Amino acid sequence: EVYETSNSTKELSYKERKQKLLDTMKNEFAGRTAKFTKNGEVYYAFYDKDGLNKGVYGDKKSDKKGYKAKINIGADGNYIELAENALYVDSSKESGKQNRFHKDAKEWDYYVKTVKSDGVYYDVLVNVKNTGDNQFVYDITLKEAVSLPDTENVSYAGNSTASNNNVPQNKENATENVKKP
C-alpha cells in the first residue's frame, strides 16, 4: 500500500492532524470496522474510542517517523485501511493487565504488513483485542522498515507486506522446527 500525504493535511499542524484523525474516526467512520483474516476465517474489528485515543495520544511503540506517518495517514482518512490487508502472525491469551481496555480481553491477535508513506517504508503491527463477543483494533504501530520489501516478489492482495518476503536460507544452517503461524 502506498500513501501520500495530501497538501491539505500538510498545511495542518500535527496537533490539528491528530484532532482531524480522531474527529474523522469518531464522526464519519463511527461503527465502521476493519476486516481481518485469521487462519482462513474472516472477522471484523471495531475501532473503540479508548483504542483510538491511545493510538493517537498514547503511542509509545511507534518510532518518531512511524508515529508521524500514522497521524498523516489517519488525518487523510485512511486509518481503517492502514489496519486492513495485514497478515495474521500470532495470538496470545490475555496477560492479566487490568487497565480499562484490557479488562475484558480474552485473546490478542497480531497482524503485520509493510506500507510506503511519503516515500518511506514502514513495518505495521496491528493488535486486535478479542473479548469473545467482539473484536477491537487496539493498537496500530508503525516503525521505519529495517529492510525494504522486494516489491517484485512480494504480493498480498495486491499489497506489499513484510511477512511475505522470501528469505533464502542455507538448509544446513536452517532450523528444522520453526514455529509457523
What does the pLDDT look like over 101-117, one tens digit per residue?
A: 677 788 899 999 999 99
Q: How many whole angstroms separate alpha carbon 118 and alpha carbon 122?
A: 10
Confidence (pLDDT) at 117: 97
Cα distance from N-terminal residue to C-terminal residue, the chain? 23
Backbone dihedral angles phi then psi of residue 27, each to the nearest 5 degrees: -105, -60
Q: How many whole angstroms separate alpha carbon 19 and alpha carbon 177?
A: 47
* Collapsed DSSP state (helix, strand, coil) of residue 18: helix
Rounded mean pLDDT of 35-54? 89
Q: How many whole angstroms separate alpha carbon 171 and alpha carbon 173?
A: 5
- Alpha carbon 162 to chain centroid distance? 12
Confidence (pLDDT) at 64: 96
- pLDDT of 143 > 90? The answer is yes
| Residues 6 or more apart in contact with residue 150 via CB below 8 angstroms | 165, 166
- pLDDT of 34 > 70? The answer is yes
